[in-house]
Amino acid sequence: MKIIMLGAPGAGKGTQAKRIAEKFGIPHISTGDIFRANIKNGTELGKEAKKYMDEGKLVPDELTVRILLDRVKDADCSKGYVLDGFPRTIPQAEVLDSELAKLNEKVDYAVDVDVPDENIVKRMSGRRACLNCGATYHLEYLKPAKDGVCDKCGSELVLRDDDKPETVNKRLKVYHEQTQPLIDYYSKKQILHAVDGTVDPDEVFKAIEAILK
């Protein structure tokens, strides 16, 4: 069972990907994690990727797919995997499909966690983070005991630049330009399933479970 998670930044697809992995006993694969692991372990692919990253360039699609395919050949992927953060563009999806086809494999499900932009802006601008211990809170869903103070270490809570409305809107613009077309791409392949990401995360997961069963 090979699953791709789609959804705008802040839609909650990462949380759902982890739950799918746990429930079905398959690995949750985040491209960011694979890059970091390859660079840390000094692999040939990691060294190649690091060159681009050090120059502030995007890692080319072919290299990203090579690193990904290297990971999915591991024994823990024999029953499948859930991809989070890849593909992000049509060219990436096409390279992935052609490489999987060479292995006689294909993507089985593309799950879109659908959340309107205004909900995402509200959701992310309500986040607060402790820069000291890394704990995260939300002004609506997970309030600290004392306003602006971390429960765990007593440090000040801040709104990270990434979560500011103007930054979130920029990220959403990039998402709609680059990643939204994947919705049509997987829809044409008849493997796209959308779930309402505005409801409680448990309800979102129930909807995903029903699709995967």
Give me the pLDDT at residue 16, please. Answer: 95
The pLDDT value recorded for residue 8 is 92
Distance, in Å, from the CA atom of 76 to the CA atom of 203, rounded to the nearest integer, reads 28
Q: Which positions ≥6 away from 136 have C-beta within 8 Å?
A: 127, 128, 129, 130, 142
In a domain, 108, yes or no: yes
Residue 13 annotated among the catalytic residues of the structure: yes
Q: How many domains would you assign to the chain?
A: 1
| Catalytic one of 13, 19, 71, 128 | 13
Q: Is the dihedral of CA 177, 178, 179, 181 positive or negative?
A: positive
Please tell me which residue in 19, 71, 123, 127 is annotated as part of the active site: 127
Domain range holding 172? 2-27+74-116+166-212
Instruction: Please indicate whether residue 73 is annotated as part of the active site.
Output: no
| Tens-digit pLDDT profile for residues 116-159 | 999 999 999 999 999 999 899 999 889 999 999 999 999 999 99
The residue annotated as part of the active site, out of 18, 122, 164, 171, is 171
Considering the chain, what percentage of its residues have pLDDT values greater than 90?
Answer: 67
Indicate if 160 belongs to the active site. yes
- Is residue 39 domain-resident? no
**What tens digit of pLDDT does each residue of 152-187 get?**
999 999 999 889 999 999 989 988 988 889 999 999
Q: Does residue 131 lie within any of the structural domains?
A: no
pTM, two decimals, is 0.83
Assess if residue 7 is contained within a domain.
yes
66 assigned to some structural domain: no
Over residues 44-73, the mean pLDDT reads 86
Structural contact between residues 133 and 150, judged by C-beta atoms closer than 8 angstroms: yes
For residue 147, being part of any structural domain is answered with no
The answer on pLDDT for 4 being more than 90 is: yes
Asked if 181 and 87 touch (Cβ cutoff 8 Å), the reply is no
Active site residue 171: yes
Read off the pLDDT of each residue in 58-70 and give the average, rounded to a whole number.
86
Here the CATH number for the domain that contains residue 92 is 3.40.50.300
